[in-house]
C-alpha cells in the first residue's frame, strides 16, 4: 500500500485561472492534513517539458477535477488529450472524474459532464450569486464533495485489496495442498521402488541358494551362512524402508496426535499451530506446522503495519479491513478487539496505539 496521500489533478482553461487558484486554496487544509495532494500545471518547473509532465501526473491521479465553463468547452487540448485520458481511467475504475461548474454554461447537453456527478450541489455555478450566499460557500460545498468521493474511493480500494488478499490466501492454500499431494505421491513411489528392489534381491538370494544347494549338496554350513545373510539383508531393508506418515496403530498417543493435527489445520490460526507445536514438539508434522505458523506470522505483521499507518492517517475504514484479517489469523486477540472498539468510538489515534501494543507475532514464545 502506498504511503503517499491520493493525488488530485485539476483540468482547467486558461481563462478560469482565478477559479483554479481559489480551489487550490480551498483544498489546502486537506493537503496540510496529509489527506490529499493537489497538482496543476502551475507546479511545472521552469525549463521542464510540460506535456510529458502533465500526462504523467494525469495517469497517476486518483481524483481528476474538471473546471467547467464555456472556455472549458472551447479548449481543444482539454478534450483531445486530457479529458480522453481522464475518462478512460474513470471507466476502468482507476480514478474518479468530478466536474466542477465554475461559470454558467449549458453543461447538461455535454455527453461527458452530464453523465457524471457534478459539483457544487445541483450543478449551481460557483460564481452564481443567486445560488450561493458567498463564493466561499460554493467552494466549501465543492470541497465536501471531493472529500466524500475520496472516502468512497478509499473504501472501495480497501474492499478490493481485502478480496485480493482472500484470493491470494486461497491460491497459497491450493499450492500447499498440491505440494502435499506431490510429496505423498513421491513417498509412495519411493516405497514401491524399495519394495521392488527388496523383492528382486529376495529372488536373487533364492536363486543363489538353489544354485549352491545343487552344486554343493554336502556343505550344509555354507547353506546356513547364506540363510543368515538373507535374514540380515531383510532386516536392513526393513529399517531402511521409509515409514508411512502415521504408523498403523491405534494407540491413544497416535490417535491424539492425529486429532490435534487435524484441528490445527482446520483452524489455520497462530494459536492453533502454537498449541499443536507445544503439545507435539518432536512429533510428526512438526516441520509443516512450523512453516504454516511462520507464514501466518508474516501476514499478521504486514496487516499490523498497514493498519497502524492507516490509523495514524485517520483512515479508519480501510484500517478496519486489516484488523479483520488480523483477527482471522489470531482470533480473540484482546488488543485488536480493543482497537476495533476505539475505531467505532471515533478515536483512530488511540486505536493506532492499541494496534502498536498488539506485539510482533513471532517474538511471543509458545506457552
Q: What is the pLDDT of residues 101-148, one digit of tens each?
A: 999 999 999 999 999 999 999 999 999 999 999 999 999 999 999 999
**What are the two backbone dihedrals, phi and then psi, of residue 10, each rounded to the nearest 5 degrees?**
-105, 125
What is the DSSP secondary structure assignment for residue 119, as one 8-state letter? B
pLDDT at 365: 46
- CATH for 7-164 is 3.40.50.10140
Closest to 72 in 3D by CA, of 43, 104, 96:
104
For the packed helices 252-267 and 270-279, what is the interaxial angle rounded to 10 degrees?
Answer: 160
Does the pLDDT of residue 258 top 90, yes or no? no
Helix residue ranges, H only, 6-82: 17-26, 28-32, 50-60, 70-74, 76-77
Q: Give residue 236's pLDDT band: very low, low, confident or very high (50, 70, 90).
A: low
Question: Pairing mode, if any, of strands 63-68 and 7-11?
Answer: parallel
Q: For 201-214, what is each residue's pLDDT tens digit?
A: 888 888 777 766 65
Name the residue with cell 550344509.
220
Query: For position 248, what pLDDT does the model report?
Result: 47
If you average pLDDT over residues 5-17, what whole number do you get?
94
Q: Is 94 in a helix, a strand, or coil?
A: coil
Q: Whole-model pTM?
A: 0.46
Q: Give me the residue spans of the domains in the chain.
A: 7-164, 249-367
3-state secondary structure of 96: strand
pLDDT exceeds 60 at position 267 = yes
Q: What is the pLDDT of residue 366?
A: 38
In this structure, of 58-62, 161-165, 194-198, 248-252, the range with the lowest mean pLDDT score is 248-252
Percent of the chain with pLDDT over 90: 35
First to last CA, the chain: 34
Among 115-129, 239-253, 291-305, where is mean pLDDT lowest?
Answer: 239-253
One-character DSSP codes across 183-242 = HHHHHHHHHHHHHHHHHHHHHHHHHHHHHHHHH-TT-HHHHHHHHHHHHHHHHHHHHHSP
pLDDT tens-digit profile of 77-94? 999 889 999 999 999 989
Amino acid at each position: 500500500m502506498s504511503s503517499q496521500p491520493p493525488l488530485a489533478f485539476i483540468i482547467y482553461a486558461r481563462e478560469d485561472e482565478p477559479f483554479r487558484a481559489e480551489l487550490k486554496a480551498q483544498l489546502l487544509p486537506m493537503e496540510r492534513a496529509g489527506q490529499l495532494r493537489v497538482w496543476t500545471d502551475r507546479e511545472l518547473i521552469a525549463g521542464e517539458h510540460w506535456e510529458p509532465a502533465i500526462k504523467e501526473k494525469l495517469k497517476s491521479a486518483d481524483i481528476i477535477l474538471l473546471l467547467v465553463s464555456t472556455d472549458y468547452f472551447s479548449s481543444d487540448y482539454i478534450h483531445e488529450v486530457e479529458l480522453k485520458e481522464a475518462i478512460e481511467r474513470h471507466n476502468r475504475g482507476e480514478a474518479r472524474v468530478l466536474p466542477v461548474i465554475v461559470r454558467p454554461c449549458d453543461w447538461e447537453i455535454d455527453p461527458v459532464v452530464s453523465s457524471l456527478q457534478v459539483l457544487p450541489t445541483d450543478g449551481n455555478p460557483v460564481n452564481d450569486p443567486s445560488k450561493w450566499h458567498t463564493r466561499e460557500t460554493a467552494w466549501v460545498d465543492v470541497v465536501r464533495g471531493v472529500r466524500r468521493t475520496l472516502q468512497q474511493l478509499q473504501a472501495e480500494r480497501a474492499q478490493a485489496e481485502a478480496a485480493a488478499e482472500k484470493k491470494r490466501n486461497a491460491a497459497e492454500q491450493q499450492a500447499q495442498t498440491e505440494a502435499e499431494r506431490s510429496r505423498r505421491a513421491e513417498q509412495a513411489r519411493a516405497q514401491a521402488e524399495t519394495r521392488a528392489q527388496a523383492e528382486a534381491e529376495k529372488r536373487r538370494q533364492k536363486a543363489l541358494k538353489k544354485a549352491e544347494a545343487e552344486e554343493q549338496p554336502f556343505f550344509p554350513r555354507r547353506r546356513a551362512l547364506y540363510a543368515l545373510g538373507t535374514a540380515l539383508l531383510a532386516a536392513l531393508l526393513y529399517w531402511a524402508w521409509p515409514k508411512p506418515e502415521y504408523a498403523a496403530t491405534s494407540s491413544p498417543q497416535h490417535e491424539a496426535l492425529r486429532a490435534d493435527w487435524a484441528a490445527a489445520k482446520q483452524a489455520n490460526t497462530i494459536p492453533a499451530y502454537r498449541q499443536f507445536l507445544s503439545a507435539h514438539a518432536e512429533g510428526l508434522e512438526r516441520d509443516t506446522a512450523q512453516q504454516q505458523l511462520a507464514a501466518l506470522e508474516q501476514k499478521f505483521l504486514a496487516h499490523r503495519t498497514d493498519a497502524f499507518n492507516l490509523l495514524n492517517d485517520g483512515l479508519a475504514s480501510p484500517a478496519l479491513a486489516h484488523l479483520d484479517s488480523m483477527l482471522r489469523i489470531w482470533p480473540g486477540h484482546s488488543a485488536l478487539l480493543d482497537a476495533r472498539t476505539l475505531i467505532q468510538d471515533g478515536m483512530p489515534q488511540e486505536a493506532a496505539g492499541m494496534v502498536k501494543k498488539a506485539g510482533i507475532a513471532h517474538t511471543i514464545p509458545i506457552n
